[in-house]
Structure 1
Amino acid sequence: MTDSLPVSLRERRRAETWEALHEAAALLALERGIEHTTIEAIVDQAGVSPRTFFNYFRSKEDAVLGLREPSLDRNLLSELSLEQELLGQVSRLLLAVAQTALGSTDSARRRSLMKDQPHLRQRQMEYMIKAEDMVRRGLADWLTENPGWPGSSTEFSAEEISRMLVMVGGVPVRFTLTAPGYEPGTGLTAEDIAPAITLLHHLQRNLS
């Protein structure tokens, strides 16, 4: 019981420091512009040292957007079911991993910053590519461990199939993000992309 308390306290302090750095960076970027926002100003505003900054973020752009290295919960892979359609599962898995990179930061503010500073959008895209690659590698392992999957093929490798699954599985997410009625500041949930997954399945059935 007592052994777990210091860990919990340390994690809470790390979360508070991360939040302080991100908030300082985002507010400074809004006030001054990204080009006039320095790491020195960010750490001064957050009340930490420059060395501490690099324990949390790789660059000031990452701090401004609140980006983290994406992570894949291996339990999510183990929950993939051969009894259910796979594309919808992959879409939801992609969304879950992407959200680990974006976190619960203010998405409306992030979009505003990217609109004013277009190069920030490219920075976020780099993290989304990392998230997709992480899912692709995890799926390739999963397919190798489940050779009886109905879509398995002797003509194509597990790596090729997983790459295609990730590309197609990402369509419902992008479709929802670009829908006319989507509110940019609200973020996405698995329920939000469900209609797009249904549409994708409808087209698969009728175009194949």
Structure 2
Amino acid sequence: MGNESLGLRERKRLETRAQLERAAVLLASDVGLENATVEAICATVPVSVRTFFNYFESKEDAILGVREFELDEQSVERHVRESEGRPLAERVIALLLESLAPAIADTRLHEARMAIIKQHPELLGRQVAQMSRAGERLVAATAAILAHDSRFAPLGADEQNTTAELILPLCGGAVRLAVKEWVSAGGERSLPQLQRRAVELVGKVISTLS
């Protein structure tokens, strides 16, 4: 099978995912979150329930547009290269926000998603939880950032990993609070604004502890 076939399959996969997300959001908007069943979402597309679960773990994830966190070696190298010279917290927070970007981008479903989240703020936890599911990959990526930071490069790999384990919860908490504020504000902040707010929150904590 050539690259062209793989490209067609990937486009089809992305199209099906987008259709499921749209169906889930619109159905939940029309009949309520409780009544928007996976079966009803699948009937709208239409696809089988089995196909649905190839893309999402739950209807809530489809509504939010939660995607599997992908962090391969090439993407980590790209992030390390492109973020070089920036403050450490900003680099780590940018890495975390990349995992959320597809679901918080300003799409045509943005307003409908925001309305559902406002009615069911508990959904926000599922959005941030994907960062926890990718814990080991995030630690490794953060350690790679530290390895290219002059202050942490002299440390051994074990110390870099330990430092990464300490930094991630702080930066992750800042991202969670920044996104929570974003929801409360009606989702009017841009991704760079979210990042600046999260960096500001980390700075306040560090300043308080100093």
TM-score (norm 1): 0.74
Instruction: Give the paired residue count.
Output: 202
| CA distances 1:76-110 after superposition (whole Å, capped 9, x unpaired) | 4324267543222112111112325x264534322
Specify the alignment match of 1:130 in structure 2: 133
Contact in 1 for aligned 2:69/2:134 (Cα 8 Å): yes
Aligned counterparts of 1:119 and 1:198: Cα–Cα separation in 2: 25
Cα RMSD, aligned residues only? 3.5
Deviates more, 1:85-94 or 1:186-195: 186-195
* Alignment-mate amino acid for residue 150 of structure 1: R
| CA distances 1:5-57 after superposition (whole Å, capped 9, x unpaired) | 22222111111111111111111111112221222211111111222112111
**Deviation of residue 70 (structure 1)?**
1.3
Q: Which structure is larger by alpha-carbon Rg, 1 or 2?
A: 1
Q: How does 1:34-45 map onto structure 2 within 5 Å?
A: 34-45=33-44
1:116 correspondence with 2:119: yes
Q: Runs in 1 of length 4+ with deviation above 6 angstroms?
A: none
Deviates more, 1:103-112 or 1:171-180: 171-180
Distance 1:142 1:84, change over 3 A: closer
| CA distances 1:118-162 after superposition (whole Å, capped 9, x unpaired) | 44233223224335654223223564xx398413658x8333310
Distance 1:184 1:133, change over 3 A: farther
Contact in 2 for aligned 1:68/1:103 (Cα 8 Å): no
Gaps of 5+ in 1: none
* Alignment-mate amino acid for residue 80 of structure 1: V
* Alignment-mate amino acid for residue 151 of structure 2: P
Gaps of 5+ in 2: none
Identity of matched residues, %: 31
Q: How does 1:1-208 map onto structure 2 within 5 Å?
A: 3-78=2-77, 79-80=79-80, 83-99=85-101, 102=103, 104=105, 106-131=109-134, 134-140=137-143, 143=146, 146=147, 149-151=150-152, 157-170=159-172, 173-174=175-176, 176-177=178-179, 183-186=185-188, 188-190=190-192, 192-194=194-196, 197=199, 208=210
Aligned counterparts of 2:37 and 2:199: Cα–Cα separation in 1: 42
